Amino acid sequence: MLPLEGIKVVDLTRVLSGPYCTMILADFGAEVIKVEMPKTGDDSRAYGPYVNGESAYYMSINRNKKSITVDTKNPEGIALVKQLIEKADVVVENFKPGTMEKLGMGYEDLKKINPELIYAACSGFGHTGPYSKRPAYDAVVQAMGGIMSITGPGEGQYTRVGASIGDITAGLFSAIGVMMALYHKEKTGKGQKVDVAMLDCQVAILENAIARYCVNGEIPQPRGNRHASITPFEDFTCKDGVKVMVAIGNNGLWKKFCTAAGHEELIEDERFVANPLRTKNYDQLKPIMDEIFLSKTSDEWYESLVAANVPVTYVNTVDKVVSNEQVLARDMIVEANHEGVGPFKMANTPIKMSETKGGYREAAPLLGENTDDILKNYLQLSDEEIEAVKAKGIL
């Protein structure tokens, strides 16, 4: 039994943040009914790459879900979506705030037809505040929320994170919010609204950058691949020109590193005996470290530091990631095989549970693939009623 078996989720989300949230719920057994516009569907069905005409982007993030097409620009379509929501435990949407209200499906409206409903809204800026009704995408919240200003090769060289961390962290926080609300409902019978803003999530993941600014008044800047408060914690070029990343997070590891490198003299060096000193004296330590790493090849360093239990790795490109022995041993890459689309690979869930093993079960649906099934089995409409709905031209 999966933890969310029996939980019904009406999924009005598109593209990435909301769909990432409902993917997690689906991975752990929730029945996720994705409502898509007829003909076009989720915007991300138009994003590449494509496998036999289907978007691999879409398919990566919508596994284990069902798709029904309903025209929500039509009042009859909205009435049908409301019927779905009436029977649901959770509704998730990532429209611009105000959109659901305009459709007559704001939380206050839906609470009337389903008082115990959990309503999760994942938006760019949240349902309150002066920017609330503005549209947002990942790049905007990454830029506005500060992570770009601390990522990059050096001062002022602000760089977007190459994955859509603005969407994905909002999807993760939304999933946590839904789980908190489900747990609360299980204990009290009460539903509620969960309001997650992508911008807020960017602020929440800034780590120690806020503290650094507020304590020192110093505006954090990109520092290349270096950590702001931990040293040494970056990549170094080896004799063969290949870089390895090492992360020496405490004084025990510093001793192990110095020993493995054959530079025991550094252990006693007063400039470097503790992390705050190594960080403070970075400019003195950096050239020493650079020279040390140039003395051996990357393979030699990798092997000797792994043996010494010092955190180390090559900088892997995606081809290396999907074939990495640890990634494969953890069942992190799954191959979906949808009839008529063909096989393609995606990341599996990283939440490994001993009693309730979640993750990939079936491929993402084609547009409207489950429309009939949902009308019949979820809404329990008769054949005549289904024909009547179809005759309205809203599917």
For the annotated catalytic residues, the residue numbers are 167
385 within 8 A of 377, measured Cβ to Cβ = no
Q: Which residues pair with 247 in a beta bridge?
A: 233
Tokens, residue 47: 């994003």
Give the closest residue to 16 by CA, choosing from 174, 148, 203.
174
In contact, 51 and 341? CB cutoff 8 Å: yes
Q: CB of 318: closest distance to its own copies in angstroms?
A: 5
Q: Draw the binding track, 69-98, toward its own copies (x: CB under 8 A; -: no contact).
A: ------------------------------
Interface characters, 364-393, with its own copies (x: CB under 8 A): ------------------------------
One of 78, 140, 260, 292 touching its own copies (CB under 8 A): 140
Tokens of 371: 């429309």
Residues binding its own copies: number (CB under 8 A):
164
Closest CA to 64 of 30, 91, 35, 26: 26
- Least gap, CB of 46 to its own copies (angstroms): 6
Nearer to its own copies (CB atom), residue 289 or residue 332? 332
CA 182 to chain centre: 20
Q: How far apart are CA 77 and CA 206, in angstroms?
A: 41
Give the other-Cβ count within 10 Å of 307's Cβ: 9
Task: Choose one: 81-89, 306-314, 360-368, 376-384; the region binding its own copies (CB under 8 A).
Answer: 306-314
Q: What is the DSSP letter of 15?
A: S
Asked if 249 touches its own copies (CB under 8 A), the answer is yes
Q: Of the candidates 9, 12, 59, 364, which one interacts with its own copies according to CB under 8 A?
A: 59
Q: Looking only at residues 164 through 183 of this chain, which bind its own copies when binding is defined by CB under 8 A? A: 164-165, 167-170, 172-177, 179-183
195 binds its own copies (CB under 8 A): yes
Interface positions, 266-285, toward its own copies (CB under 8 A): 274-276, 279
